């Protein structure tokens, strides 16, 4: 890991978004009122897919900042195959060289949705995002279906159990994911524990993409 991440202003600036993300997201998971609603599947609760969408959006904003000033960008969308005939699975996050074939609902100043169709050859990496991930919930088929489109397929969870993180990582790598990260661990018996080292490693991997694109 580069020294500017280990100490000093570089590390503090790098971790600002991380501190905000894990604190805000974990609060919505561990709050007793929220847990009661979730346990009963009660109406009036915030649905998991909305929380998952928020997580992937926050991660996109963070990656865009890391990649600022380069010819790489980050979006939610589909990859188009080389013949522009078929699309990949939906990609929570696509890191790609600048440019897109089409942008849906992103033309206004305050778009409700910003979904892009990216040419396969422009893709550098994709990230599958999960709100809460257990080892039995890793999507093997997603990884297999994305392999013809892009080499780097990463997996990023907002949260996983403290005892399952290593097992998830091993299984994810066995399934073909190149990397796995998580923001924090938590269970009903433990308090949230942020994965600061994992975040800094993730930032370094994104920066490697930046260097490779020069």
How many domains does one find in the chain? Answer: 1
For residue 61, the number of C-alpha atoms closer than 13 Å in the C-beta half-sphere is 10
CA distances to 23, 50, 87, 115 from 106, in Å: 29, 19, 19, 7
Pick from 3-7, 50-54, 144-148, 156-160: least confident: 3-7
Query: Is residue 74 one of the residues assigned to a domain?
Result: yes
| Confidence at 29, pLDDT banded by 50, 70, 90 | confident
SS3 116: strand
**Residue 124 belongs to some domain of the structure:** yes
Q: What is the pLDDT of residue 2?
A: 47
Structural domain harbouring 106: 17-213
Please determine, for residue 112, whether its predicted confidence score (pLDDT) is greater than 50.
yes
Identify whether 2 is part of a domain: no
pLDDT cut 70: percent of the chain above it:
93
**Residue 21 included in any domain:** yes
pLDDT at position 156 over 50: yes
Tell me the DSSP string of 57-74: HHHHHHHHHHTTTSSEEE
Residue 118 is assigned to a structural domain of this protein: yes
The proportion of the chain whose per-residue pLDDT surpasses 90, expressed as a percent, equals 71
| Domain-embedded: residue 10 | no
Residue 3 forms part of a structural domain? no
pLDDT in tens, 165-190: 999 999 999 999 999 999 999 988 88
- 1 belongs to a structural domain: no
Structure tokens at 122: 């422009």
Mean pLDDT of the chain: 90
Please compute the mean of the pLDDT values over residues 26-37 and round it to a whole number: 74
């Amino acid at each position: 890991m580069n020294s500017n991440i280990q100490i000093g202003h570089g590390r503090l600036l790098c971790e600002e978004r991380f501190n905000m993300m894990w604190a805000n997201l974990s609060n919505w998971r561990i709050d007793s009122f929220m847990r009661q609603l979730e346990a009963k599947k009660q109406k009036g609760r915030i649905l998991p897919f909305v929380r998952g969408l928020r997580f992937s959006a926050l991660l996109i904003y963070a990656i865009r900042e890391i990649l600022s000033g380069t010819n790489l960008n980050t979006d939610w969308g589909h990859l188009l195959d080389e013949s522009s005939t078929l699309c990949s699975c939906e990609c929570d996050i696509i890191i790609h060289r600048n440019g897109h074939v089409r942008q849906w609902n992103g033309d206004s100043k305050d778009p409700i949705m910003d979904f892009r169709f990216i040419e396969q050859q422009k893709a550098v990496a994709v990230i599958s995002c999960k709100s809460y991930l257990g080892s039995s919930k890793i999507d093997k088929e997603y990884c297999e279906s994305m392999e013809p489109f892009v080499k780097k397929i990463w997996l990023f969870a907002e949260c996983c159990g403290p005892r399952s993180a290593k097992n998830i990582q091993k299984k994810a790598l066995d399934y073909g994911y190149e990397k796995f990260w998580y923001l924090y661990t938590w269970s009903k018996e433990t308090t949230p524990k942020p994965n600061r080292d994992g975040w800094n490693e993730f930032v370094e991997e994104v920066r490697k993409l930046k260097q490779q694109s020069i």
